[in-house]
Amino acid sequence: MNNCSYTKDVERWFDGAAIDSDVESHVADCAACAEHLQFLKLTREAIGAVDVRQVIGDAQLPSFLAGIEEGVHTPRKRYTGLWAMASAVAAALIVTVSTMTILSPGPEPVGAQTVVEEYSTEIDGATAESFYTGEEETPTVWVNVPDGDMW
Amino acid sequence: MKFFALMLCGLSLSASVYAADNEPISVSMVAVQASNEGRSVKYFGEGLQKVRSAIGGLDYDTFSKLTSIDTTIPLNEETKFRINEHYSLYLTPMSIDGQGRIRMRARLTITSRDKDKTVNALDTVLTMAPGKHLNLGGLRLDNGELVVVLTAREN
């Protein structure tokens, strides 16, 4: 970056403006301004090398500026409605699945066994007992009735 | 609008939970006469396929169905099932635990021949695993003994 106070004068002189100060002799003494002047020359040559230059005519300028204005100020398209709906559907799914999971009896829990808490008989002389039978260990409550007529 | 939707959702959930807590109990009862007739292979009469695994381990060789019923019964009420002219089964579901097990009282009653006296031949309180069998039996029945196979499940 050229911090020399002659920089603006150098640029104006380069563009052909009438300058009071002796810019040319300053550029010969100031390495920074000489470098800046070289940069301006190279830039001009590079621009001049472009085959087709787009020129915005005066008639096109209002449309050109309007396009820029529109690009700058038009709000970016937001998908608020779509996202809101997707969120609502996701929330509804979560609530539904959670509710079904809570209310569904589901598979039998491991260890849910039948428990015989108490048993008795009022038949005279009979006794009651509890045991498990068969391959499935079926709980069984049994009355052992004495020989003879129950009644 | 949102408030009403939330309220409706809450009411629906409450109604579902209330309904689940108050649904009756599904009960299956099969009354079987078990006897020993000298068979080399155990014989199961018609209609006993569902309970074969429950009674097959008992020390009898012949099993015949007397009666059966599949029904629903209410919680905290005693329901009577007539087996024959002498025997009846009374079931009173009392509660359902977190594992779906049903705590119930089961009474097998016998009525005397002259029908002037009925006693609890077997009175038991148990907690039944849902869908699993339970045998109640040992009471005399003609030439064999009575076996009642119970299955219960929350409806």
Q: What is the pLDDT of residue B17?
A: 45
- How far is A24 from B111, CA to CA, in rounded Å? 135
Question: In the structure encoding, which two tokens stand for residue A72, read together?
Answer: 């700058």
At A66, the pLDDT band (50, 70, 90 cuts) reads confident
Could A115 and B17 be called an inter-chain contact, meaning their C-beta atoms sit closer than 8 Å? Answer: no
Q: What is the pLDDT of residue B28?
A: 94
Count other Cβ atoms within 10 Å, centred on residue B16.
14
Closest approach of A108 to chain B, Cα-based (Å): 7
Pick from B131, B145, B150, B124: nearest CA to B62: B145
Per DSSP (E only), the strands in chain A are 115-120, 127-133, 138-144
Residue range(s) defining the domain that contains residue B84: 26-154
Closest approach of A77 to chain B, Cα-based (Å): 27
Q: What is the pLDDT of residue B44?
A: 95
Q: What is the pLDDT of residue B3?
A: 47
Q: Are B57 and B44 in contact (CB under 8 A)?
A: no
Is A118 domain-assigned?
Answer: no
Q: CA neighbours within 13 Å on the CB side: how many for B8?
A: 5
State the DSSP H helix or E strand holding residue A132, giving kind and residue range, or none if neither: strand A127-133
Is B1 domain-assigned?
Answer: no
- How far is A87 from A100, CA to CA, in rounded Å? 20
Is A114 domain-assigned?
Answer: no
More confident: A1 or B101: B101
Could A144 and B138 be called an inter-chain contact, meaning their C-beta atoms sit closer than 8 Å? Answer: yes
Is A128 domain-assigned?
Answer: no
Question: In the structure encoding, which two tokens stand for residue A11, read together?
Answer: 């640029």
Partners of A128 on chain B (C-beta within 8 Å) are 122, 124
A17 pLDDT higher than 80: yes
Residue identified by tokens 């499940």 is B153
Count other Cβ atoms within 10 Å, centred on residue A9.
19
Into how many domains does chain A fold?
1
- Closest CB to A119: pick one of B9, B99, B123: B123
Into how many domains does chain B fold?
1
The tens place of each residue's pLDDT in chain B, 155 residues long, gives 454 455 444 544 544 444 445 568 999 999 999 999 999 999 999 999 999 999 999 999 999 999 999 999 999 999 999 999 999 999 999 999 888 899 999 999 999 877 788 999 999 999 999 989 999 999 999 889 999 999 988 77
Residue range(s) defining the domain that contains residue A6: 1-51
State phi, psi for A5 to the nearest 5 degrees: -70, -15
Pick from B70, B134, B82, B128: nearest CA to B103: B128
Q: Are A133 and A140 in contact (CB under 8 A)?
A: yes
Is B16 domain-assigned?
Answer: no
Is B10 domain-assigned?
Answer: no
Q: What is the pLDDT of residue B8?
A: 44
Is A20 domain-assigned?
Answer: yes
User: B18, B126, B149: best mutation site toward chain A, by most A Cβ within 10 Å?
Assistant: B126
User: A102, A132, A142: best mutation site toward chain B, by most B Cβ within 10 Å?
Assistant: A142
Is A116 domain-assigned?
Answer: no
Is B19 domain-assigned?
Answer: no
Q: What is the pLDDT of residue A113?
A: 85
- Closest CB to A115: pick one of B16, B126, B131: B126
Q: What is the pLDDT of residue B11?
A: 43
Is A148 domain-assigned?
Answer: no
Could B133 and A136 be called an inter-chain contact, meaning their C-beta atoms sit closer than 8 Å? Answer: yes
Cα B26 from chain centroid? 9
pLDDT digits (tens, 9 = 90+) for A69-88: 888 777 766 667 778 888 88
Cα A34 from chain centroid? 52
- How far is B33 from B16, CA to CA, in rounded Å? 42
**Does the beta carbon of A71 lie under 8 angstroms from any beta carbon of chain B?**
no
Q: What is the pLDDT of residue A131?
A: 94
pLDDT digits (tens, 9 = 90+) for A26-46: 888 999 999 989 999 998 888
- Closest CB to A136: pick one of B20, B54, B130: B54
Count other Cβ atoms within 10 Å, centred on residue B20.
15
pLDDT digits (tens, 9 = 90+) for A92-150: 999 989 888 787 665 555 557 889 999 999 998 899 999 999 888 999 999 998 876 66
Global ipTM: 0.83
Is B53 domain-assigned?
Answer: yes
Pick from B150, B82, B79, B88: nearest CA to B118: B88
Q: What is the pLDDT of residue A50?
A: 78
Q: What is the pLDDT of residue B14?
A: 47
Is B4 domain-assigned?
Answer: no
- How far is B117 from A13, CA to CA, in rounded Å? 133
A1 pLDDT higher than 70: no
Partners of B155 on chain A (C-beta within 8 Å) are none
More confident: A19 or B81: B81
Could B100 and A135 be called an inter-chain contact, meaning their C-beta atoms sit closer than 8 Å? Answer: no
Is A119 domain-assigned?
Answer: no
Is B13 domain-assigned?
Answer: no
Could A109 and B54 be called an inter-chain contact, meaning their C-beta atoms sit closer than 8 Å? Answer: no
Is B136 domain-assigned?
Answer: yes
Is A36 domain-assigned?
Answer: yes
Q: What is the pLDDT of residue B102?
A: 93
